[in-house]
Every structure is written in structure tokens, then in C-alpha cells.
Amino acid sequence: MRRQEASRFHANGENPRSDGGGESPPPSPGIGRSREHAARLITGQDSYKRLEQIGDLQRIAGDERTDASLRALAVAELDAIDQGGAVSSAHQRVSAHHSLAELEAIAADLSRPAGVRHASSASAARLHAVERTASAAELEQLAREALARVKAARKSTNGSRRPAPARPTASSDKAKLPVRAFVFLWADLHDWWTQYDVAELAIALTDEQWEQFEETLAGTIAFAESLRALRSGSRAAAR
């Protein structure tokens, strides 16, 4: 199997994928679990976590069902580990891109509610914007939190509560998202316009894409006006 050497160790106890003892603490007395004990016997360190992380990278790299770009990243990170790179950082980068790929898949899935898809797309865009400047740990945390928010909104949307009676409107056949999903969506869209080059978009967008943007913008403005009026009325009534 490819990269089986990742879990092999030299006779003198050195790990060929290890960049030193900085990622693993010294052995702790009294730990009896077999996996930990075996790692200490082989390496002299509590390095089972690194072994698991390398195993995760190997699994992703060898899984043909996984997105090709994610597999390529896992292969590149394993190669970097071969050259002495840190295991934890490699695992964090691949984990972040795994979450990012899932966000992009949700955004492209037309069977998902529009609010969930929009939140996924906005979250993915924000991650792409910071992936070159954020540390591996920061990127993994941001991606994990973004995916958790989208999944929470999706779970709320697919809850088992009995739906409210249909209203006589043009959109009455669509399931309504909870307030929580609205908050998540607009939190992810905060300052979204700063992430794009207007001149580039003006040239690159097709007529169909522009019309879709105009339609979404018009609907958003109409929604905002209705919401603003209702909030003003409810506040006035409360005084």
C-alpha cells in the first residue's frame, strides 16, 4: 500500500516522518491503553496522535471517492512530512480544505434550501480569502466553525416541527428558514463586497449571471423594506 512507510520506524526508535520531539510530550506514567503503550514502546514518545494524523492523510490520499484536489493536497502534505514538515500543521491544512470542500458541495446542491446554500457559498468565499494569510490552525478552526454553522442551520430547517399553515403568497410552497439561519447568512455576508474586484466582475459576468444578481438584489431590497416597516411598526406599538 502506498505510504506504508509512514507507520514504520527505524530500529533505533526514530520516526522517518517525524520532525523531532516538539509535537509529542514525553511519556506519561500510568497510561495503560494499548495504542498509547505501543507508541511509547516504538518511539519513546506519546506519538499516537501523530500516527493517527498520518493515517488520516494516507486515507484521504488513497480514497478515489474523495475530491481530486483534496487528495492531491494530502499527497503533497505527506511528501512535506517526508522532508521533515510538521505533522500537525499538515493535518490541519487538509482538515480545513476538507471542510471547505464540504461547504462548496452544499452550496452547489440545488436540493438544499436557498439560505443554506448562500451561507455555504459565502463561508467558502471568506475562507478562500484568508487561506494564504491564516495559519494552519486558524484556517482549520475557521473552516470547522463555518461548517458547523451551516449544518446547524440545515438541521433547524429539516426539523421535525409541524410546518405552519401555508400563506396565500407566491412563495408559500417554499419552506421557511428559522431566524437562526438568517443571522448566520448575514453574518457570513458581512462586508462581502470588499472581497471582489468590481472591474474584473464587470468583464467576467455573463448576462445571465448579471440578471440573476439583479433579481437577487431587487428581492433583497424589497425584503429589507418590508422588514424595516414591520420592525418600525412593532417598535411604535411597544411604546
Question: Scanning the structure block, which residue is given the C-alpha cell 488513497?
Answer: 62
Asked if 177 contacts 113 with a C-beta cutoff of 8 angstroms, the reply is yes
- What are the residue ranges of helices labelled H in 2-135? 34-43, 48-62, 68-82, 87-108, 114-130
- 0.85 exceeded by pTM: no
Confidence of residue 45 (pLDDT cuts 50, 70, 90): low
Which residue reads 490520499 in cell numbers? 61
Average pLDDT over residues 81-106: 89
Domain ranges of the chain: 1-85, 88-157+176-195, 198-239
Residue 151 has a pLDDT of 82
pLDDT of residue 32: 46
187-215 average pLDDT score: 87
All residues at 6 or more sequence positions from 59 whose CB lies less than 8 Å from its CB, including other chains? none
| Lookup: cell for 41 | 514502546
